[in-house]
Every structure is written in structure tokens, then in C-alpha cells.
Homo-oligomer: A and B are copies of this chain.
Amino acid sequence: MPNNPLNSLNFSGGPGVLPESVLQQVQEAIRAVPEVGLSILGISHRSDWFAAVVAELEANIRSLMNLPADYHVLFLQGGATQQFSMLPMTLLAGQATPADYLHTGYWSGKALPEARRVGPVRIAWSGQPGGFRHLPDDAELDFQADAPYLHYVSNETVEGLQFHRVLGRDDVPRICDMSSDFLSAPGDFERFSLIYAHAQKNIGPAGVTVVVVKDALLKDAPDTLPGFLDYRAQIAAHSIYNTPPVFAIYVVLLVSRWLRDEIGGLAAMDQRNTEKSRLLYQALDDNNDFYLGRAAGKDRSKMNVAFNLPNPELEQEFIAAALAAGFSGLAGHRSIGGIRASLYNGLQLAAVEKLVDFMDQFKSRNR
């Protein structure tokens, strides 16, 4: 029996739901971290205990992602937004040839102006003309061999679009913003030179961002950047360049243990996530006279299911009725409206089953 049943029906786009067993450990840690005896909020980031937290979390992520030894794992502040700048400051400053960027939705679009402040950018493909309802096929894509790097977003949180394959050329560094599907499924992560993901979707609270970076990518990085924006300075300091967000990192550690020990790894996590999204998309397909899925079938996200109702008034009624029934976080992103059900790792299948039942009832009452 969960401590607070409302948490289990939280479909928020982020910060998102965390596993109940993690929340219970966090609650205890506010009073006292078991192996320290002090509140997690009052433990020094320079303690041996916290160094061990960072080391274990790094090892857990390496193991879950099956990362080769030449990758570093960092825990930074500033969200994916800081990466939008830190990345081009490291790899694009002074370059004559443009980096390839895909513009597939709201968040990949946010990365563009920050990159353009630093160096030349080429939009290799844009979904804007199509209203960001689908992703490119391979035939539509033409990547430049001399690009300093390719940047794309694996899962567009707002529009509910997800790439189910790795893009780009093997001779150009692949950089991927995996903020909203990080650690949700296995992948060929060694094909990427840099992956970044803020925590607040699948792996923790807002306030920490994981960066996985291949050592060779940084060999020509400038040494003129402010220290906190210098990947190599952060690597040298084992993510403790300055005071890190101790609490957020500790929660991510607890989630990584849950993924490993309670779920059984990324393949098992993907099975659960696939089943959750299959159930909800089936409900959309079975009721496509009332619930109108947003994403093209082949590009549907397992993490964020965006859909519309016949009109905005019904959508408002839906959100209000859902809230009254205990479901939260179902309003679509403010940029596009509609409904969005986010099915992050921490959300259980039972929550989706309840949502589908609610959708059936709502349709019966309102069609």
C-alpha cells in the first residue's frame, strides 16, 4: 500500500513521478541517511560518504548503460539548457563548418539559438512545416561528413515523438539530448560521443544533469572556458568541482539502485515501458473518433503520449475530471495544449490501466 496513493497517478511531464520505494528512502534520508546518521541536507559534499555516493552512481550508470571504459560520467547543474551552451562552447567555437542539428520539436528547437551564439549551425532536417507530428525517415536525412558534430533529441517530450534508432554517421561525433528517455531502455550508447539528460523525467528530481562523454571528444576542447562549464575540469574533479547538488545526486543514486535491483536493468525497464505505452496507444487507436493521437505511428514515444479531444473545451473538462479522480499532470505543454500522459520509469502499469478506464468512462459520458 503506497504511502500516498496520489503520487502513483502522477502523469506529469516533469518533474515526474519517482518510484514509491525511492520516495520512502528519501523521506528517511531527510531525517538521517542510514549509514551516516545525519540528514541528507546537512552532509558535506567533501565527506567520504558523498565521494562514495558519486562513485557508486557512476558505476551503476556505467553498468546499466554498458559503457566502455573511455567514457566519463558527470553530474552537473543547469539542466539540459546549460548543455545547449556548454556543448557548442566546447566543440563549435571558432569552427568554419557548421554542426548538424535536427529540429524535431520544442526542445531541439531550444538548442538552436544557443548553438548559433557560438558558431555555425546547419538544420539537417526540420519538422516545423509538418507541425512536429512526425520524425524524419532515413531517406529524408543527409548528414555532412565534415560537421564538427550532429546534435539531436532522442525523445521530444512536448510532442511525444521518439527516435527508435540511432541517427547519423559513425565518422561524425553524435551528441544526443536524452533528457526524457534516459535509462528507459537499452541502447547502443557506445555509438554516441556525448549524451546528456537532466534527471527530472526518469531518474530523479530537478537540479542535476547527467553527462556521459567519450574521452576522445574533448581532446581539442578549449581551456579558456569558465571552470564550471569546462567538461575536463568537471571530469578532473569527479563532479565535485564546486558544491554539487548533494540531495539530487543522492536521489538519482537511489533510483539507479531501484533500476538495477528491483527492476533488473534497462531491458526489463523497457519491457514495462513498452507495455505501458502499448496499452495507452491501443486506447487511442480503439477510440480514434474521440481521442486523437498526435504523433505519427512509427514515431510514437514510449515516454510521452500526446493527444487531443474533439475540442479544447472537452480537453479542459477532461483534465478537470481526471484531477478530481486523482490523476495529475495530464495537461499538455503550454506551447501546444491538449493532453499529455507521461509514462516515465517511475509510473506503474496499474496507473495506465486506471487512466485507460477513466478515458473509457469519460468518453461514454461526453461523446
Q: Assess whether A168 is interfacial by the CB under 8 Å rule.
A: no
Q: Please encode chain A, from 44 to 77, with 1 for each CB lying within 8 Å of some chain B CB and 0 for all others.
A: 1110000000000000000000000000000001
Q: Are A41 and B251 in contact (CB under 8 A)?
A: yes
Q: Distance (Å) between the CB of A54 and the closest chain B CB? A: 13
- Inside 8 A of A129's CB, which chain B residues have their CB? none
Interface of A is mostly: loop
- Inside 8 A of A224's CB, which chain B residues have their CB? 117
Q: Are B26 and A248 in contact (CB under 8 A)?
A: no
The number of residues on chain A lying at the interface, defined by a beta carbon within 8 Å of a beta carbon of chain B, is: 61
Q: Are B39 and A7 in contact (CB under 8 A)?
A: yes
Q: Are A39 and B23 in contact (CB under 8 A)?
A: yes
Task: Tell whether A247 pairs with B205 under 8 Å between CB atoms, given A228-B82, A329-B44.
Answer: yes
- Inside 8 A of A136's CB, which chain B residues have their CB? none
> How many copies of this protein are present in the complex?
2
Task: Tell whether A245 pairs with B42 under 8 Å between CB atoms, given A30-B26, A32-B7, A37-B6.
Answer: no
Q: Distance (Å) between the CB of A278 and the closest chain B CB? A: 24
Q: Assess whether A78 is interfacial by the CB under 8 Å rule.
A: yes
Q: From A11-19, A184-192, A265-273, A349-357, give the one contacting chain B.
A: A11-19
Residue among A4, A78, A117 with most chain B CB within 10 A: A78
Cα-based distance from A227 to B81 in the complex (angstroms): 9
Q: For residue A179, which residue of chain B has the nearest CB?
A: B243
Cα-based distance from A344 to B7 in the complex (angstroms): 34
Give residues in A with beta carbon < 8 Å to B. Answer: 3-4, 6-7, 10, 12-18, 23, 26-27, 30-32, 37-39, 41-46, 77-82, 84-85, 114, 117, 198, 200, 204-208, 224, 226-229, 241-248, 251, 328-329, 334
